[in-house]
Amino acid sequence: MKKRELEQLIQKIVNEKVEEGAIKSPVKVMLERPPREELGDFSTNVAMLLTKSERKPPRQIAELLVPSIEALGCVEDVRVEGPGFINIYLKKDCWYDTLKEILQKRGSYGDCPHVGEGKKVQVEFVSANPTGPLHIGHGRGAAVGDALSRILEAAGYQITREYYINDVGKQMTILGHSLYIRYLELLGKDVTLPEDHYQGDYIKDIAEEFLKRQGKKYAEVPFDECSQLFIEFAKDSILSGIKKDLEDFGVHFDVWFSEKTLFEKNLVETTIEELKARGVIYEKDGALWFKTTEFGDDKDRVLVKQDGSTTYFASDIAYHRNKLRRGFNTIVDIWGADHHGYAPRIRALFSALGEDPERLKIILIQLVSLKRGGKPVAMSTRKAEFVTLREVIDEVGKDAARFIFLTRKADAHLEFDLELARRQAPENPVYYVQYCHARIMSILEFAKEKGLDIPDAPHTELLRRLDLKEELNIIKHLSRLEEVVESAATSFEPHRVTFYLRELAALFHPYYNTHRVVSEDTELSLARLTLCRATAEVVRKGLRLLGVDAPSRM
């Protein structure tokens, strides 16, 4: 029995009471899980919500509803407890239906298409500048963005994963020039890399590659005459590295959106024209301003500078206007938390274009503080001292890294201990869940060798053998998957799935340790094997939503 189903049944009862006149005002029924199992499987606070409009004590209102709820097929008992909670106890047979449903739906169990109804959502994430390799912080953004996308897909949304490439502007010229300098260095020229250039060794590697491909023919060519070539080469090389890193991290983007194309298609200009037409653009001090203060921003923002060049913000609004034009119902931007100040301006754009700013959902990713064996690791982008995503993948593995990134709310600081993450030790949380899956697969294997044939569609008769409290608790937890997916999707918080899985494993491991699955009692064995199979199915599904593998052996 799922919460949503029971919620609807009780809502119907309340609505009937309202029609009959027994209750004066309508109320939305919300079920919740009581804090302790003695208080039932579900409970509702409707009676307390109605005290004011009914002018009756909550318990009296509750009693009005109890008989109809008791009459529901799945309900074993209904009690009014505490200040006026209506606590509902379900029949065991209803829980066994959960197992049947899991085995029938398999990988699609937990999906809730009614939430998204096929609406289009764009998720833009990572979007790191193509001036250097991805570092561990980008990894967190990648893990969150991808897991969120997977969860939204399970919730029935149509997702476009997108990466925005900042491939224009001064930084690109500096990148190209950095490569140029390293190239000349290789040719034995006496040059030094300016301080504001990219210092990382990766530029040297690219320079060697450049030399191999292009030879020495640019040795005497001034940078001004070959800048485009160097810029393109550096950018393409870095970008293909980024793509490779992300693929190996299990993240695949549908669209790689180039900022440059905004200019090529005149979209920056068109956007400014549209804003002009809407009367939110003015000129001051030789620059062109967007009146964002009209929509809640602190100060107005420059779009075209005195020297005639456009700002980064100009590209950004053109990009977001383009997103809107592409027909996404919701636009999700995942940013580093240090960019939070930009939110009001982008929202201002939505308002200025007559769009609901609520369509833009911004998720901020807090910084990762990196440790190694409990000791902090210093990071400095400028000095190119940082731990790259590549190193993390190679050192601790994709699964452990992704899982750890998803053990916290996105906007909370995350401590990432490289040594801990790499260690296959109990304190490493990913193995707790993966081990649960591997363990079950091993049990199923064992059962097969014993000649036990687990039914694909077990009868309730058989499942009734699962009457231990631990067994029912596991089944009840399994029944929550859809709720968790829905809440993770609507709150944009993928970490909820992580916690759910840990809880599930924490129910299964002790059960396994105290009760034998495969025993002399064939019927009981089959019932328990069914439970195991359903559990493995849900663990696998949950891990898939996080982009983490569910190994059969570890």
Residues between 471 and 490 with contacts to RNA, criterion CB under 7 A: 483, 487, 490
Among 59, 243, 372, 409, binds RNA (CB under 7 A): 409
Q: Is 493 in the site for RNA (CB under 7 A)?
A: yes
Number of residues lying near RNA (CB under 7 A): 93
Shortest Å distance, C-beta 30 to RNA? 7
Paired tokens of 552:
């059969």
How far is 364 from 357, CA to CA, in rounded Å? 17
DSSP 8-state code for residue 342: G
Among 1, 14, 48, 360, binds RNA (CB under 7 A): 48
Paired tokens of 294:
């009209």
- Give 400's contacts (C-beta < 8 A, 6+ positions apart): 421, 422, 428, 430, 431
Paired tokens of 125:
């994430």
Instruction: Tell me the sheet residues that pair with 415.
Output: 369
Among 15, 68, 158, 171, binds RNA (CB under 7 A): 171
Among 232, 298, 521, 523, binds RNA (CB under 7 A): 298
Q: Is 178 in the site for RNA (CB under 7 A)?
A: no
Phi, psi of 353 (to 5 degrees): -85, 5
Query: Would you say 392 or 536 has its CB closer to RNA?
Result: 536
Query: Would you say 153 or 417 has its CB closer to RNA?
Result: 417
Q: Is 407 in the site for RNA (CB under 7 A)?
A: yes
Shortest Å distance, C-beta 514 to RNA? 6
Do residues 305 and 313 lie in contact, with contact meaning Cβ atoms separated by under 8 Å? no
Q: Write out the E strands in 237-300.
A: 255-258, 281-284, 287-290
- Give 441's contacts (C-beta < 8 A, 6+ positions apart): 536, 552, 553
Query: Measuring CA to CA, how many Å separate 86 from each of 15, 83, 94, 283?
Result: 17, 10, 19, 64
Q: Is 25 in the site for RNA (CB under 7 A)?
A: no
Q: Provide the residue type at 17 as one letter.
A: K
Q: Is 307 in the site for RNA (CB under 7 A)?
A: yes
Do residues 554 and 435 lie in contact, with contact meaning Cβ atoms separated by under 8 Å? yes
Q: Whose structure tokens read 């320079």?
A: 207
Among 26, 82, 357, 455, binds RNA (CB under 7 A): 82
Among 21, 188, 341, 451, binds RNA (CB under 7 A): 341
Q: Is 242 in the site for RNA (CB under 7 A)?
A: no
**Other C-beta atoms within 10 Å of 68: how many?**
17
By CB under 7 A, the residues from 507 to 546 that bind RNA are: 509-510, 512-519
Among 208, 412, 456, 459, binds RNA (CB under 7 A): 412
Would you mind telling me the total number of residues written for the chain in this entry?
Answer: 554
Shortest Å distance, C-beta 244 to RNA? 22
Q: Is 52 in the site for RNA (CB under 7 A)?
A: yes
Do residues 69 and 10 lie in contact, with contact meaning Cβ atoms separated by under 8 Å? yes
Query: Would you say 383 or 413 has its CB closer to RNA?
Result: 413
Q: Is 55 in the site for RNA (CB under 7 A)?
A: no
Q: Is 113 in the site for RNA (CB under 7 A)?
A: no
Query: Would you say 24 or 340 has its CB closer to RNA?
Result: 340
Q: Whose structure tokens read 């609901």?
A: 356
Q: Is 431 in the site for RNA (CB under 7 A)?
A: yes
Shortest Å distance, C-beta 287 to RNA? 3
Q: Is 320 in the site for RNA (CB under 7 A)?
A: no
